[in-house]
Structure 1
Amino acid sequence: MLSTAFAPALRRAPFALRRPFSSTTSASSLLKTTALTRPLPATLRSQLLARGAASSVSGQPGSQTLGHAAQNIREELGHSASDLAKTIAAGNAYTDGVAPSNQTFLGITNSVAHSVPTPYVVFGLAGGIPYLGASGATVYLAHQAGMATQGLIPNMDPGVAITLLDQALNLQTTYGAVMLSFLGALHWGFEFAGYGGHKSYSRLLLGAAPVVFGWSTLALLPTSALIAQWAGFTTLWWADLKATGAGWTPKWYSQYRFYLSILVGSCIIASLAATSYWGPVGGHGLVSHDLQMIRAERKQKQPETEGIVKGAIGTVAAQEDSDNYVMIKHNEPKEESPKQEQQKQQ
């Protein structure tokens, strides 16, 4: 009789609660079970099911509407950005124990950046200005060299333009090698000071490797040297990231180095893109024979703008499609009559 009375409630209960009643089941336990199977109020049910967990393992809320999906995407992007900032800072994220911390990309980056001493920031930025200027000169001269070889700048010889471009590339690669050597020497300074303890050969090798690598890139052609130095700066930042995480450097050092690597990498990519799109680079197949051909072709297409015209000359009206109003031409000598010749002889 008791099980028959609670049959409607059992049909509404979840499958996990549908179990046969034993003869030892007490009335109090049946009342508790009945309370669990009663439907919840509509307002409470909507609040509980608004963003339920999609997975019992991750505990992340599920996306039941487009609004929930957009919110989940924003949250995931925010978490990914903060994780990226922590990775750049080698896990050294500074938080305030009193004020609530801002665990976002900008918040973590800003907190680490404020821990860098001001003189280091000033001289670090000043050290990147010459490299930025050399890269800008390379981009500009690559455009000028490309225009000159196509004959679009008649007042510039293509050989001169290519020579200037080659000098700008050499300046950029030379300063890049100096920067690599300087960044490697910083690890020798940490070792001499005993920062984080003396690491002996491992840290000394880390400081000497960029010097040798940067010097060896100067033996390559300019564009090949830029590619090699880009790989060197990227590898050295990864090594600095590991060194910061191991306590070999100050906690802010990996993030400090990251933005320097971004600056140098952007300059290298801009220089390579400009030389590939506009300017022919000296030493890459453009020899003196090619320059002579370019000069000869330009001379044929470009009319003479100055010089001395010998003999009798005169002017005639230019054609309608011409760029000039008049044309200068030689006057052909007129044939004299026999009477005029006789008069000259007398």
Structure 2
Amino acid sequence: MNAPVTATKLHDCRDAFAATLEKLAANDETIVAVCNDSVGSSKLGGFKSRFPDRLVNVGIAEQNMVGVGAGLANGGRLPFVCGASPFLTGRALEQIKADIAYSNANVKLVGISSGMAYGELGPTHHSIEDFAWTRALPNLPVIAPCDRIETAAAVEWAAGYDGPCFLRLSRVGVPDLLPADHKFELGKANRLREGSDVTLIANGTLTHRMMKAAEILGSQGISARVLNMATVRPIDEEAIVAAARETGAIVTAEEHTIFGGLGSAVAEVIVEHAPVPMKRLGVPGIFAPTGSAEFLLDEFGMRPASIAEAALAVIKRK
């Protein structure tokens, strides 16, 4: 679909997460929420009010939080373990590896305020390594929805999936991109725009910027395909290979370091199956400084016009 991206209302995907979790919990008494003193930032206030006995707040103790989640799963509960992504994935990575992934525990990890959403709080609060850390682990699907519609669909999918997963959510507002009846499919990319000259691939907060970049390219006579790659693991190899063979050039963008994340996952597929010119946009292997998330994305070459320029440069290498 090639509908233009206009200046529409921006939505916080955490709201969609919280509303969906409450709806599911109303019909499933096994659903519990576990958090690290993050009831507010995880938008769990409504859940706490409706299901006070099904919210476990462990305090600022992320390793314990993951362990508690694993224990609840072993006891027959369906835990959604929620916390700021830099602390959930960084502080508790060993517990995620051993208690969740290795044990294949039915725990849904929810990394809140991922990427550079905490902006002014700086490198300690930026979560620009979480794709790399989590996608290296077996048994752990890694998902970054692009809008509130996909967020709600992914939460519904996660509740019905028998096994662990990691949902990466931002607090930065994004427009609606997907149809209201969208159903999430693990490992399947969504083709948001048709194109034959270059493919733009992103997820999370970058997908709508890719759509705007595609419009800029279209005004210059360049046909750009846009793929929303919400699932980082397992990656949609079929869609990536088709994009490489049919458009001949690829640009990825992510709110993450360029090492080990979405761009790396795409590059792994390209180099093995269909080598074409490619450019990875993201944080270039440094600690991102302080500043709003929007400012930092722009500074790291991911404003729509800059993405369009990168695409033009890649096309010249074909």
TM-score by length of 2: 0.20
With a CA cutoff of 8 Å and minimum separation of 6, indicate the structure with the bigger relative contact order. Answer: 2
Q: From the CA coordinates, give the structure whose radius of gyration is larger.
A: 1
TM-score by length of 1: 0.19
